Structure 1
């Protein structure tokens, strides 16, 4: 439960801070991005300073890319987290074997779509809720490469994610999308 609170807090802080200074993207890239960033977010819980690191891909074509690539590889998410005043929810996959080696990870995906700025992000924790994107993690570089490859190799022809996502997150929008695609 502690980690769920932290993830919600983290995404609220990330979104609020983005609204203050909006970095404009020169272009939006299909299956690509302008840069990869690690954003560190700190919070305090019972005298402990807790740091959560976000892997962020800037100037992507869709704020749903990180959700979609996880869905395409691992199926439906385990949990939908709705931070306050956020358009797209955080999706969570629990105990995912990312590298098919028996090691389990908890993955949280998110995306922001604002005027001239779109990015997607990923937070990865191990089974013990340790942040695997921190500067001392021996998994950090492997995870950056892994998610970079997933975004660059996104298969646009796989559309099952969109039906699952919109029918669960915003059923009225899904009905509208279906009505437009049937014309």
Structure 2
């Protein structure tokens, strides 16, 4: 049952992220000084690209971060290795998936996807999508844990700024995966 629930969420996220047009052009460029003073928080409602499906999920975005992988660094520092990399054919960097993590120490298990965009033409952001153990969008407007989740990531954003262990491990895995696909 758990595998089926996770697979259904996984499929929905892939379909949503590959078709949501998340690389919106924005004339406002990020300030060159990174950190909380330049960062803003945004919520993006991602709708399925399937026109017959009206469902959506919410992504928490930290705009103008140093890298698109900041939320992944937070998860890696807090929970160690990820469970899976989810590749989008239109992007080089995958979405990173952690399953069954007690994210906010409430005894509940969460499924977490981290992703982001780095670009000179668009605003760099690092994002996260979170589902509770029942597959509900934990960042939805009516979620009773949304504020705690935002606080979890916001408080840790400036930690481990120079720690490259997540990036090094991710780069290594992506290189292996890309070579396997050739």
Measured against the shorter chain, the TM-score band is: 0.7 to 0.9
Question: Counterparts of 1:115-126 in structure 2 under 5 Å?
Answer: 115-116=120-121, 117-126=123-132
TM-score normalised according to structure 2 size? 0.83
- Encode CA deviations 1:3-49: one digit per residue, 9 max, x unaligned: 111111222234x3424x23432314544352111111222779653
3-state SS of paired residue (1:170)? helix
Match of 1:50 among 48, 55, 62: 55
3-state SS of paired residue (2:58)? strand
Tell me the equivalent position of 2:86: 81
- Encode CA deviations 1:55-74: one digit per residue, 9 max, x unaligned: 00101111111111110110
Moved over 6 A (4+): none
Q: Does 1:106 align with 2:111?
A: yes
In structure 2, C-alpha distance between the alignment counterparts of 1:134 and 1:141, rounded to whole Å: 10
Question: Counterparts of 1:18-57 in structure 2 under 5 Å?
Answer: 18-19=23-24, 21-32=25-36, 33-43=38-48, 49-57=54-62
Q: How many pairs align?
A: 170
Higher strand share: 1
- In structure 2, do the counterparts of structure 1 residues 47 and 62 end up closer, same or farther at CA, with 3 Å as the change threshold? closer
Q: Does 1:91 align with 2:96?
A: yes
TM-score normalised according to structure 1 size? 0.82
Match of 1:4 among 10, 23, 38: 10
3-state SS of paired residue (1:114)? coil
Tell me the equivalent position of 1:161: 166
RMSD: 2.4
